[in-house]
Amino acid sequence: MANVAISGLVSLPSLNGSTLFEVANPNVSSNSVTANQIAQFSANLEYQFLPFTGILDPSNNIILIQNTITGIVNTANIHQLTAEILIAENFPSGQNVVSFTVSGFTSFRSLKISGMGRSNVAASSDLLGLMFNNDIGNNYQTERAYGVGGASASAAQSGNTNYIYIADICGNSTPINMANSFEIEISDFSNSVFNKQILGRYNLQNTTGTGGYFIFMVGGFWQNSFPVTVITLSLSGGFWMPGSRISLYGKR
C-alpha cells in the first residue's frame, strides 16, 4: 500500500518532556477525545493540542509534521481520518475480466470501485457486469435510471440474472478517444446478516451529437448474505483498451 495523507490533532505533553505523541480524532468514535475535553486539557496546560498533517506509510507508522515538530508513532494510538484509501489498481488493457480479492480488508466498512475506459467491442457500448464470490447463478437484480437530452427515463433489468448490470462502457464504434467513467459502492461488504447491495453511477457518450450523452444511476443486489470475498467485473463482448483503469478503495 502506498503512503496515505492524514490529518488530525496531536497532543504534546508539555510538562514531563515526553517524546510520545497521541493523536485524537474528535467525534469519530467513543474512544476519541471530544472538543470540550481538548479545551479542558489545554486550559490545564498539561497537554498542548495542535493540528497536524502527516503521512501513514505501508508499515503503519505515521510521520507527524507540525511546524518544526516531526516524530514517528505506531498507529495503535491513532484514529485515522482518511475517508478513503486506495487498495489496488488494475490497468486491464487486453482483458475482459478484472477481479479483486477483498477477504482480508476487515478494517473497512465499505468498498468503492471506480473506473474509466473503453472497450474494443464492435458496437457503441459494452455491458459491464459484476459478480460476488464467483457466484454465476441467477442470484442478482439491477435497477437503472438515466437521463439524456434533458429528459429522464428508467431502464429496469427485471428478473434474476447472473450479474449486476453496473455500466455500459464506450465501444469501438463511438468517436475516437471517447471513454466513460463509472463508480459503485458496496456497503458493509463483510456483513454476514443481510443480502449485499450496490449503489452506483456512470456516464456514457456514444456520439458527439445532441442526445448522445447519458448519465445513469444504478442499484443492485446479490441474493446472498455471505461476506463478500471476491469481486469480479466482466465485459460481455470485448476487451478493455489501453489507457483503461479500474481502482478499488476501502472506506471506513
Domain ranges across the chain: 4-77, 84-251
Residue-wise burial string across 62-88, b where 16 or more C-beta atoms lie within 10 A, e elsewhere: bbbebeeeebebeeeebbbbeeebebe
Q: What is the pLDDT of residues 9-63, one digit of tens each?
A: 444 443 333 323 344 433 333 233 334 433 433 443 334 444 545 554 555 444 4
Contact 93, 243 (CB under 8 A): yes
Q: How far apart (Å, rounded) are the C-alpha atoms in residues 83 and 160? A: 34
In this structure, whether the domain defined by 84-251 belongs to CATH 2.60.120 is answered with: yes
pLDDT values of the chain reduced to their tens digit, one per residue, 252 residues: 455 444 454 444 433 333 233 444 333 332 333 344 334 334 433 344 445 455 545 554 444 443 333 343 333 333 333 467 888 899 999 999 999 999 878 778 899 999 999 999 999 999 999 999 999 999 999 999 988 877 777 777 666 899 999 999 999 999 888 999 999 999 999 999 999 999 999 999 887 777 788 899 999 999 999 999 999 999 999 999 999 999 999 887
Determine if the pTM surpasses 0.75: no
